[in-house]
Amino acid sequence: MPEKSKSKQTLKKVLHYLKKYWALELLSLLFAAVSVVLTLYLPILIGQAVDLIVDQGLVDFTGILSILKRMAVIIVLTALAQWIMNTCNNRITYSVVRDIRKKAFDKLTRLPLKYVDSHPYGDIISRIVADVDQFSDGLLMGFTQFFTGVMTILGTLFFMVRINYKIALVVLLITPVSLFVAAFISKRTYSMFKLQSENRGELTAHIDEMIGNQKVVQAFGHEAEAQEKFAQINARLQSSSLRATFFSSITNPATRFVNGLVYAGVGITGALSAIYGGISIGQLSSFLSYANQYTKPFNEISGVITELQNALTCAARVFELIEEEPQVPDAPDAFVLEQAAGHVTLEHVDFSYRPDVRLIENLNLDVKPGQRIAIVGPTGCGKSTVINLLMRFYDVDAGSIKVEDVDIREMTRKSLRENYGMVLQETWLKNGTIRDNIIYGKPDATDEEMIRASKEAYAHSFIKRLPKGYDTVISEDGGNLSQGQKQLLCIARVMLCLPPMLILDEATSSIDTRTEIRIQKAFAKMMEGRTSFIVAHRLSTIKEADRILVMRDGKIIEQGSHEALLEKNGFYAELYNSQFAVV
């Protein structure tokens, strides 16, 4: 889509959000008109005061004093009108920004996981935070200066025509130069500000990635490469910002030049008219004041247009996020899974993250209630992908996954996921207290239930050693907790809920061997009577599984118990012996 057409589409979307606040907009326009009329009436009074100074000793002080009183009242009323107008503008702008940001975040929570997986986190953050802020600045300037500027131009022309239409004609003849300058600049700034916004988003994404993985960067000595990439993106941002700023900065000197032409034209024609008695000296002074007031809005409007171009490019990036296809919503009559028994079947399942790269093909599995299913295999074979499909983070490309003989695509996501408990290799903690993190899946849990779950997860002892125990506040990355302690909290979270089906994806990967033995006992107790899917690289942790699935290249190549697979002397035996071979 051409940039001009895209800019128009974005403007229509912005106007759609503004429609909701039409009453405040009318109020703002009303007080803008009052402010402009009162401001433009002042030069008339000044001109009248000048005409009362006829000559030395011929000054009508009484008349001047009366005019000064009126001027004082007008100045106070103008200030009040501008204050009310600005209050309305602020409320409109930040209400619109609130609505857009809320809608963007709401869409983010409903987007399919593949969108978040395929976009840098920093870029998404930049759209919702930085781009919306830039948009609000441009919108506020538009409301504050654009409408008052247009009204000032029209009002000034009206007063000038009333004083002397011939001099006003000179002003009108020079006006197209200002319009040409504004059009010339606005055509070139949209694409430049768009590129600037994209580069800023890329830079934010890179910084977010480097900060989030600082330990990895330092451990592998990647600092120089990170700095080099930062320098490259920063250089592109510098270049795009300079070009955008250059064209936007042309606005001021160009319009000031036009202002000078208008003022000179009014001054020359007005002086000649005054010499021949066409207008009085007071009227000429009013006219010169109007000439200044007439040209000033062009200066402001040109700046506003430039700022609006920047605002629209930022708004376009936010609207791109808002208009992304959400995940397929649950059907109105979708099945609600109450309390699953744990019967799970996968029938002829095909799935790939990219259409051109096949991953899982014709995967079949029948899991009876209460069975413990271990999934093993080399990295990239599809183990975690199976978990993503079971939880319906992704939908299958072909085939079906059923729970209690109901296709999971025909049931609500919420009810499906409430029947699963997950402990992943990557821990997730939110900003808050230890208590908040443990009861995340069961907010109404009692302290006794929480402490019992923590004891079963072997987390209670280290929690009690923290400064405030369960009320200790941690940051979203776990603060000063070790990786093992964070994983114990995640295990306690699942222990508290105990849903009918469990997913343990390398759940003890960050825990010491002694604690792992204890946790395995707790897991054994927790898994009694519950369907469990266990993803593990350490094969010693899955010996007790009812069935072990050995995956390779997206297919199950072997399955059976631990002993049966060892007797087979196949790929599983090869994996097992590689971990426990006697040197």
The tens digit of pLDDT for each residue in 505-514 reads: 876 666 677 7
Torsion of CA 164, 167, 170, 176, to 10 degrees: -50
Helix (H) or strand (E) holding 558, with range, is strand 555-560
By DSSP bridging, strand 531-535 and strand 372-376 are parallel
- Vertex 143 angle, CA 139 and 145, to 5°: 110
C-alpha 517 chain-centroid distance = 43
**Residue 66: per-residue pLDDT:** 86
Residue 331 is classified by DSSP as: P
Q: Does position 275 have pLDDT exceeding 50, yes or no?
A: yes
What is the average per-residue pLDDT within 495-520? 77
Burial 264-294 (b: 16+ CB within 10 A, else e): ebbeebbeebbeeeebeebbbbbbbbbbebb
Q: What one-letter code names the amino acid at 399?
A: G
CA separation, residue 543 to residues 401, 406, 430, 557 (Å):
26, 31, 34, 18
pLDDT, tens digit, for every residue of 347-386?
Answer: 888 888 877 777 888 888 888 888 888 888 877 777 788 8
User: Does the CA dihedral 460-465-469-473 come out positive or negative?
Assistant: negative
Per the structure block, which two tokens stand in for 336?
Answer: 């609600």
CB atoms within 10 A of CB 59: 12
Residue 142 is classified by DSSP as: I
Q: What one-letter code names the amino acid at 434?
A: I
Tell me how far apart the alpha carbons of residues 467 and 203 are, in angstroms, rounded to a whole number: 38
Alpha helices in 276-371, H assignment, sequence order: 281-322
Confidence of residue 76 (pLDDT cuts 50, 70, 90): very high
Neighbouring-strand partners of residue 345:
366, 402
Torsion of CA 7, 13, 16, 18, to 10 degrees: -70
| 507 in Cβ contact with 425 (< 8 Å) | yes
**Residue 187: per-residue pLDDT:** 67
Q: Does position 440 have pLDDT exceeding 50, yes or no?
A: yes
**Residue 110: per-residue pLDDT:** 83
pLDDT, tens digit, for every residue of 417-426?
Answer: 888 888 877 7
Neighbouring-strand partners of residue 59:
53
C-alpha 379 chain-centroid distance = 33
Helix (H, G, I), strand (E, B) or coil at 262: helix
- CA neighbours within 13 Å on the CB side: how many for 529? 6
Confidence of residue 79 (pLDDT cuts 50, 70, 90): very high
Per the structure block, which two tokens stand in for 230?
Answer: 């930062």
Tell me how far apart the alpha carbons of residues 147 and 176 are, in angstroms, rounded to a whole number: 19
| 397 in Cβ contact with 352 (< 8 Å) | yes
Torsion of CA 43, 48, 54, 55, to 10 degrees: -40
Neighbouring-strand partners of residue 504:
423, 534
- Cβ within 8 Å of residue 193, ≥6 positions away: 244, 309, 310, 313, 314
Query: In which region does residue 498 sit, left (phi positive, over 0), alpha (psi from -120 to 50) or beta (all else)?
Result: left
Q: What one-letter code names the amino acid at 253?
A: P
pLDDT, tens digit, for every residue of 1-31?
Answer: 555 667 778 878 888 888 888 888 888 888 8
Tell me how far apart the alpha carbons of residues 312 and 511 are, in angstroms, rounded to a whole number: 50
Q: Does position 473 have pLDDT exceeding 80, yes or no?
A: yes
pLDDT, tens digit, for every residue of 286-316?
Answer: 777 777 777 677 666 766 776 777 788 888 8
Query: What secondary structure does DSSP assign to 62-114, as a single string?
Result: HHHHHHHHHHHHHHHHHHHHHHHHHHHHHHHHHHHHHHHHHHHHHHHHHS-HH
By DSSP bridging, strand 360-367 and strand 406-407 are unpaired
Neighbouring-strand partners of residue 421:
502
| 356 in Cβ contact with 350 (< 8 Å) | no
Comparing C-alpha atoms, which of 196, 189, 174 is closest to residue 240?
Answer: 196
Per the structure block, which two tokens stand in for 329?
Answer: 């919503």
Percent of the chain with pLDDT over 70: 90
Query: What secondary structure does DSSP assign to 161-172, as a single string?
Result: HHH-HHHHHHHH
CA separation, residue 102 to residues 91, 141, 439, 536 (Å):
16, 22, 26, 40
Tell me how far apart the alpha carbons of residues 41 and 34 are, in angstroms, rounded to a whole number: 11
**Most confident stretch, 188-197, 251-260, 266-275, 329-338:** 329-338
User: Does the CA dihedral 37-42-48-50 come out positive or negative?
Assistant: negative
Comparing C-alpha atoms, which of 132, 146, 31 is closest to residue 83?
Answer: 31
**Most confident stretch, 168-177, 361-370, 474-483:** 361-370
Least confident interval from 69-78, 208-217, 383-392, 397-406:
208-217
